[in-house]
Structure 1
Amino acid sequence: MEIDGEHLRIMRRGRIASISLQSLASPPSIRKGMLGTALTITSDVHNDVTLKGASHLDARAFSKELKEAWVRFNLLALEKEAARLERVLAAVRALEGPTSYPAACKVSPLLDDARALDTSLLSKLQSEAIGPEATARIAVVRKFAGDPRTARANGISAFVTAELDRWKDFFDTIESKPLTPEQRLSIVVDEDATLVLAGAGSGKTSVITAKAAYLVKAGIRRPEEILLLAFAKNAAAEMSERVEARSGVPIVARTFHAIAYDIIGIVEGSKPALADHATDDLAFTNLIKQILKDLVRSQSAVSKAIIQWFAHFLVEPKTEWDFNTKHEFYTHMESQDLRTLQGEKVKSYEELQIANWLYENGVEYEYEPVYEHKIPETGRRDYQPDFRLTESGIYIEHFGVRRQKMSNGSERLVTAPFVDRDKYLAGMVWKRQVHAEHETILIETYSYERQEGRLLTGLAEKLAPHVTLKPRPLDTIYDRIVELKQVDEFSKLLGTFLRKFKSGGYSLQDCEAKSVRMKQGQRARAFLDVFAPVFEEYQRRLDGRIDFEDMILRAAHYAETGRYVSPFRHILVDEFQDISQSRARLVKALKAQHPDVRVFAVGDDWQSIFRFAGSDIHLMRHFGREFGGSFDGEAGLHRTVDLGRTFRSVDQIAFAARTFVLRNPAQIQKRIVPAGTATEPAIRIVTVSRNEDERKLSDVLSALATGPNPEAKPATVLLLGRYRFLEPDMQGLRRCFSQLRITFKTIHASKGLEADHVILLNADSGRTGFPSEIVDDLLLSLVSPEEEAYQNAEERRVMYVAMTRARHTMTILASNARPSAFVTELKNDPAYGIVAAPGAEQEAHVCGECGGRLLGVTGQDGRIWYRCEHVQHCANLLPACPSCATALPRRADGTMETRCTCGASYPTCPECEDGWLVERSGTYGRFLGCVRYPTCVGKAKISAAERPVARRPRRRTRN
């Protein structure tokens, strides 16, 4: 062995090996033996090397020399990196009590330095060589390199605690009331991406304005380095004024479009002209309507696609086979508003197809006319075929049957799951016999024909011998569609789709492929056949001008490619739940320009209700993935702060609204601290019978006007409607209730507002009901990154917004016959703790025919009748109890009696679920017949022991 500079040379049997002094794990060891001294070298990278039989004096001297060389080598290596080590060590120690928030983007470079130093030097230094003091200093850096997350977390905790104390006076005085602990925390937290969950009435504007002022006052940023973004001009102006008024800091808040327009102007030298409709949603919708109209009149191929859509795909093409119960099927059909081009409502999608085909081809018809021949007494209602062609007198019956292959190869006809097959097939036979006997022509169509894709072609073939088709001009049909007001809502759907299509950077091929994956079928294809030419024409009419989607995307492109150099280091975004794909792209592009840019977003995913304007809730739900930083191999790093406290709603409203919106498990969980405790029921549901809307609204306003008002000023009342056409006569209401300050808003327009009392109008079911069947159209999922799987997801958030406008009370006016699914949920689930207005609720009765509800109505004869809510589909109609004339007798379990709450009882009908028997006269004398006759022909003989009189139980005396 010999020392050769920084290496130890070893010669063994003529071979020479070299070991670096850096790799020595410890000084050499010597061991005296009978045959001489053994000297052993221990290395990190080689096996131990032992020299045996050396002279003890030589071995000891060599060992000493080697140790001195080894120590010199380690100390020299440490000295070469001393400055770097000191810098890293100081930064690591500063993390124990940081003077600024240790965001991932700030600590990551330090971690990279520490690990590089550890790899190149620190891990190779030997503590015995460098001494305990240097070893202790190195250990601090090595510990940080090995567990940086704990070090950063401890640093964050230390900073936040100190900063909250340091800025206490600022937080106490920046707003009219001291900020809450949650608001203060959200301001001092300064992660790469910070999301502040600001529920309704939680003071989000206070947070974002205080954050901007804090950044400047704390010396973290200069005003020009802060980009404060709002979605609307008035919100941006209010925010700018509020920041300067509260803190004296001049920071100008801007809309996304304003900053995008500025970026384009800086890069291009001038700003392109803005399309007239860009700032006017109504003008935008009207432009889409005009494009549709012009395409119908100018391009025959496109006009056919447009008419096809309205005639056959405007509503969701579901049939009986898509449902398990009559009630589910009927509810869906009613929500779809199956109105034909001729104007009447039909009972199924397949009937709608047939009716519209007849209308398109100029075949005049009547829907469900009474059959021209009187049918002898059968116990049935008057026979009403589905269609009668008025010129030829031909009848059309559409039968809801499909073909089923049997195991032996034969076929049989089957009905939907909830339909009695034998009874239905018997009805088909009876109808054929009626037409045969009276020599009227019957054309039959079947559900299996639609299933096989030949319903309408088959109908054309069957009618050919009897009818001459006279197709109506396409523009005439379109005028009819306009007359039926079907174009308005479709134009809004097209407009929403167009904006999301552009802002998300989609292609038609993307949409077609997604429609196939989602199995949206012919309806999606029909929609895209209309959308494609509409989009092409829309782009052509821009004529060099830009809309807001173009504006944002062009600005994002300039930022991404570096043609625009951003001065911003902090990007503060208000109402973040409304952000779109294109806006998110712009924010990401600005963030990517500098490594230390932070995104601070304030929003409430529970209030994301502007999908029609392009907002994409998934950007907020996946905030970390979209905007977060990275640290120690962890991506999507961000911080979420939940403000929790509401300064608006009392507990009953705040908790009910929270429970309601969280029924969708995709919504982000947030805690709620209400503004106060209600002493009276805060949410009421008032049921409204037909034509009672004005009276019931007046009753509610009267109660509010005469009720206690703890404040000296007049109580504020906000009337909310899902649509603008629901606005009542406001002048009349203000005149009648001058002691109240009454306003009307659509729910969307009410966002950000509040009132002492809120009244929600027309919470009914239907296509333009609430939930709206239009807004949540599945077609919009073709231009969304992810489909919202939860039914009525956005409409549920709209309802949350409506509920949380109220400080003290909320009253919901809902149809007695067709209440909204939301109303039914709120009323039936005890978790909401909601009461009905006194005297407004009748006992709920289930319809034995379809599973719907039996509702009490007053007939033309002044008597009370109980009619199924699905009156268009279900013929169930029952009189009130003959004894009390108000309540509905119901079947008693385990007996053959039907009893009323008044005490009367009747024999139960043997044929139907709901009927009972009353005395009737017939050809053969007196008998007991069902009260539902002629719908039900249940009967029984009158026995001597049983008179057909209501029997009352003997009244019990109280002890």
Structure 2
Amino acid sequence: MLGTALTINSQEHNIVTLKGAGHVAAREFAEEVKEAWTRVNLVALEKEAARLNRVLAGVLGLAAPPQYPSACKIAPLMDDAKALDASLLSKLNADAIGPEVVARIAPVRKFVADPRTARANAITAFVTAELDRWKDFFDTIESKPLTPEQRLSVVVDEDATLVLAGAGSGKTSVITAKAAYLVKAGIRQPDEILLLAFAKNAAEEMSERVEARSGVPIVARTFHAIAYDIIGIVEGSKPALADHATDDTAFSNLIKQILKDLVYRLSEVSKAIIQFFAHFLVEPKTEWDFKTKHDFYTHMESQDLRTLQGEKVKSYEELRIANWLYENGVEYEYEPLYEHKVSEIGRRDYQPDFRLTESGIYIEHFGVRREKARDGSERLVTAPFVDRDEYLAGMDWKRKVHAEHQTTLIETFSYERQEGRLLTGLAEKLAPHVTQTPRPVDTIYDRIVELKQVDDFSKLLGTFLRKFKSGGYSLQDCQTKSDRMKLGKRARAFLDVFAPVFEEYQKRLEGRIDFEDMILRAALYAEDGRYVSPFRHILVDEFQDISQSRARLVKALKAQHPDVRVFAVGDDWQSIFRFAGSDIHLMRHFGREFGGSFDGEAGVHRTVDLGRTFRSVDHIAFAARTFVLRNPAQIDKKIVPAGTATEPAIRVVSVSKGEDEGKLNELLGALSAAMAPEAKPATVLLLGRYRFTEPDMPGLRRRFPRLKISFKTIHASKGLEADHVILLNADSGRMGFPSEIVDDPLLSLVSPEEEAFQNAEERRVMYVAMTRARHTLTILASNARPSSFVTELRKDPAYGISTAPGAETEAHVCGECGGRLLGVTGQDGRIWYRCEHVQHCGNLLPACPSCSAALPRLAEGTSEVRCGCGASYPTCPECEDGWLVERSGTFGKFLGCVRYPTCTGKAKISGGDRPTITKSRRRTRA
């Protein structure tokens, strides 16, 4: 009666309502609007019919995809489907288009709503079908059928695929099968596949293997070979290669020659070079950088604190003083005996730090700093682990000695270095007493050469230079990073030397190129499009060894076409070439660096773990896995061993000093004797961290003809295997294993990230050594100074290490510094227990007087020191490790510390069961 309201909904406009219309007219109008809207929907569908059919076919094809549905292949379909849905499908009215059309477009709409799930389902369908389809190929491509994990890695074809290939897991088989599969499946033509290896012989072997196994002619190339080809294509000819590019010895000699020439030619540069050698060659850490004496002593022993005069000193600050004296022509003696006999119970003969030979002046350097109290007063403090009162008493005693004997004492202090005036202050104090006659820089440099300090520094400079070039760094980059990492004066001094060396090195190339230039120039040509890549699949072997420059080249080639795939095979557990520029973080962040993108997700990639090892028995395989995964940054991988050990497969054999050769002969003799008469020769691989550990190989081969014996450094052993592996010289020390000289903090300036885990790369070197063995691994270690790795293997039951009965002596902690007390045989034939930090600590204890072998230790909950043989002694009231024994003195017999005269703890002998303890002031050298 009041009329009909007609409401029209619109996505593009506000809702329109017409009121007061006649009922019949309104109904007719509404019907006409619906019909018009249906016609619009159907017309729109008709216009997009071809596009819809194409998208629909693509989406439906995901149910059984003909090729691996990688992100780069599916992304265009997703983009097309999303665009079609946004412009049309989402706007269609179900009533208008009808249920049949709704059902037809439903797969597209479902795909648009969740493309990731759709792609994941498509991958599953493809992989399942493809593994079945190529079963015969996988069964026959290698001498043995491929494992399920190897087959999966071949058919997976993501934008970026990383195959984790542990030691002995058959990575070469995977690369070979992948290349052959791509061609045989019609996915790529041979010239569209780039097969990359790091070494020339590895590339040649791979090329031959691919063609022999599959008949497919794909030439594997090194990174440098493809880079050189790219440069030749773009420039029309290939520039000459520098002579030293392929010769590390020539490269090192060139750096040494540049250093020498700069010293003799340029005064400012020569000063910078001499300054670095004299004051910054070693890392400038002091007692205040460590929490315990043991940590400090361990660090000091890892540094070669060798002065320009040639002696080894005990601290970085003493090193600076000694080198300043040498530079300025002030003759001195280090730690001479004091010219007057000073006798005081409990003290060793007095040895001042320095004596100036011409003037007779003494220099003592005191490890004290100044600290202000809240009331403004100032006091001297010592390092956290040093007894302040005892140390200050020692300072006073030394001053008293010089005063009594009227000798001149010059004092220097740690706080002077902290305040930046150690050497200027020394110069002022010495000025009234000595005349400085500075040595010429060329004379000092000749001395540095004589001490062989140039060799290690040249290696550091060379490694830095190569990493600097390959990473595309600038000097400003390094300076900025140095400031951020607070590397201080040492880094600035190093860069002052490096800058002119690098400039001179570039000049001496004279138009030729080195390998770093080669890679970077090729990458640049690929990045800017001057080189057009034909490659659609890039297969990289030994991916854990990739450097920043090589990664840049791979990325540049990948970026040239949207459908390029990267297939990388490697093992981050075997990344041991950081010194050559390899960057383990590129593998750890593989997806971020090389992955594709899909549905808003970046870094899309796939990882396949081969898992199975065809080399090592379970005991070795699992122990090696446990060992390397102590570093939580390593990628976790499963291990399926090659077999089960029937007897202990890993053992540690302790070796006394001078017994290395005899113990090795004993081990080889046992291996030879255990062989069956008709058995073929067993292979034995001797491994050393350094080349100098190589024994007399001709002699060993003559003595043990039934064994096939070889020696390799661990780095050179990668890819090799043997029935039995013997690891030599697993000792602690600067040239031990783990090596304590490989990672100079300065290299962090040209490294993307520093690994936080201690000995991270050395741990991987140990893993490589362990996994060369098929059946047994024997580790030879010093019984006095076993390496930290050996100690770890012995202590943790998880490794299941076998140690010969009685071969391992009980570990004792030094009460003076926290180091180890090691059993040694003295010149008198008696056994003594000496602190491992003999140069710094000097704690020395005799063996038990009763058994003459073991070391008595404090029994928990008692005041007695007891030996394993059953003997017991009263504890020393003054020191941690000593015990009291009967001695004779002026006033008769008494109980005195076995560490006398270092410790003067004593007690009276009473008639009772227990001695009466008499306290005396403990005296040790400050």
Q: TM-score normalised to the size of structure 1? A: 0.93
Determine helix, strand or coil for the equivalent of 2:648: coil
Are 2:890 and 1:920 equivalent residues in the alignment?
Answer: no
For 1:381-780, what aligned pairs fall within 5 Å after superposition?
Answer: 381-708=348-675, 712-780=679-747
Contact 1:776 1:793 in 2 (8 A): no
Q: Quickly say closer, same or farther: Cα 1:703–1:364, change in 2 above 3 A.
A: farther
Shift of 1:53: 4.3
Are 2:67 and 1:89 equivalent residues in the alignment?
Answer: no
What residue is the counterpart of 1:199 in the other structure?
166
Shift of 1:654: 1.4
Shift of 1:48: 4.4
Are 2:100 and 1:133 equivalent residues in the alignment?
Answer: yes
Aligned length: 915
What residue is the counterpart of 1:951 in the other structure?
none
C-alpha separation in 1, matches of 2:28 and 2:866: 116
Are 2:883 and 1:910 equivalent residues in the alignment?
Answer: no
Shift of 1:58: 3.0
Q: Quickly say closer, same or farther: Cα 1:690–1:780, change in 2 above 3 A.
A: same
Determine helix, strand or coil for the equivalent of 2:370: strand
What residue is the counterpart of 2:129 in the other structure?
162
C-alpha separation in 1, matches of 2:270 and 2:788: 36
What residue is the counterpart of 1:380 in the other structure?
347
Q: Which moved more, 1:686-695 or 1:104-113?
A: 686-695
Q: Could you say which structure has the larger radius of gyration?
A: 1
Shift of 1:457: 1.6
Determine helix, strand or coil for the equivalent of 1:131: helix
Q: What one-letter code is carried by the residue in structure 2 that aligns with 1:131?
A: G
Contact 1:850 1:874 in 2 (8 A): yes
C-alpha separation in 1, matches of 2:428 and 2:658: 46
Q: Quickly say closer, same or farther: Cα 1:414–1:72, change in 2 above 3 A.
A: same
C-alpha separation in 2, matches of 1:321 and 1:563: 56
What residue is the counterpart of 1:110 in the other structure?
77
Q: Which moved more, 1:813-822 or 1:903-912?
A: 813-822
Are 2:115 and 1:148 equivalent residues in the alignment?
Answer: yes
C-alpha separation in 2, matches of 1:351 and 1:692: 36
Q: TM-score normalised to the size of structure 2? A: 0.96
Contact 1:223 1:251 in 2 (8 A): yes
Q: Which moved more, 1:818-827 or 1:916-925?
A: 818-827
Shift of 1:651: 1.6
Q: Which moved more, 1:464-473 or 1:313-322?
A: 464-473
C-alpha separation in 2, matches of 1:54 and 1:269: 83
Q: What one-letter code is carried by the residue in structure 1 that aligns with 2:556?
A: A
Contact 1:275 1:545 in 2 (8 A): yes
What residue is the counterpart of 2:920 in the other structure?
none
For 1:116-265, what aligned pairs fall within 5 Å after superposition?
Answer: 116-265=83-232
Q: Quickly say closer, same or farther: Cα 1:892–1:66, change in 2 above 3 A.
A: closer
Q: Which runs of 5+ in 1 are unaligned?
A: 1-33, 949-959
Shift of 1:575: 0.7
Are 2:306 and 1:311 equivalent residues in the alignment?
Answer: no
Q: What one-letter code is carried by the residue in structure 2 that aligns with 1:329?
A: F
Question: 1:354-413, CA deviations, whole angstroms, 9 ceiling, x for partnerless residues?
Answer: 222222222222222222222234221211211222232222111111111111111111
For 1:265-276, what aligned pairs fall within 5 Å after superposition?
Answer: 265-276=232-243
Q: Quickly say closer, same or farther: Cα 1:693–1:304, change in 2 above 3 A.
A: farther
What residue is the counterpart of 2:855 in the other structure?
888
Determine helix, strand or coil for the equivalent of 1:749: helix
Determine helix, strand or coil for the equivalent of 1:432: helix
Contact 2:714 2:768 in 1 (8 A): yes
Q: Which moved more, 1:84-93 or 1:330-339?
A: 330-339
Shift of 1:274: 0.3
Question: 1:316-369, CA deviations, whole angstroms, 9 ceiling, x for partnerless residues?
Answer: 111111111111111111111222222222211111112222222222222222
C-alpha separation in 1, matches of 2:177 and 2:171: 10
Q: Which residue, 267, 288, 294 being the options, matches 1:300?
A: 267
Shift of 1:307: 1.9
Determine helix, strand or coil for the equivalent of 2:832: strand
Determine helix, strand or coil for the equivalent of 1:772: coil
Question: 1:801-856, CA deviations, whole angstroms, 9 ceiling, x for partnerless residues?
Answer: 11111112222222333332222222223332223333321111111111111111
Determine helix, strand or coil for the equivalent of 1:196: strand
C-alpha separation in 2, matches of 1:738 and 1:354: 57
C-alpha separation in 1, matches of 2:858 and 2:838: 22
Question: 1:872-907, CA deviations, whole angstroms, 9 ceiling, x for partnerless residues?
Answer: 111211111111111111122232221111111112
C-alpha separation in 1, matches of 2:836 and 2:228: 54
Q: Which moved more, 1:139-148 or 1:237-246?
A: 139-148
Q: Quickly say closer, same or farther: Cα 1:377–1:53, change in 2 above 3 A.
A: closer
Q: What one-letter code is carried by the residue in structure 2 that aligns with 1:163?
A: E
Are 2:809 and 1:842 equivalent residues in the alignment?
Answer: yes
Are 2:904 and 1:937 equivalent residues in the alignment?
Answer: yes
C-alpha separation in 1, matches of 2:654 and 2:444: 39
Contact 2:302 2:741 in 1 (8 A): no
Are 2:32 and 1:79 equivalent residues in the alignment?
Answer: no
Question: 1:891-937, CA deviations, whole angstroms, 9 ceiling, x for partnerless residues?
Answer: 22232221111111112111111111111121212111111100001
C-alpha separation in 2, matches of 1:763 and 1:510: 38
C-alpha separation in 2, matches of 1:929 and 1:727: 48
CA RMSD in angstroms, aligned pairs only:
1.7
Q: Which moved more, 1:154-163 or 1:611-620?
A: 611-620
Contact 2:475 2:499 in 1 (8 A): yes
Q: What one-letter code is carried by the residue in structure 2 that aligns with 1:620?
A: M
Q: Quickly say closer, same or farther: Cα 1:347–1:715, change in 2 above 3 A.
A: same
C-alpha separation in 2, matches of 1:691 and 1:451: 44
Determine helix, strand or coil for the equivalent of 1:453: coil
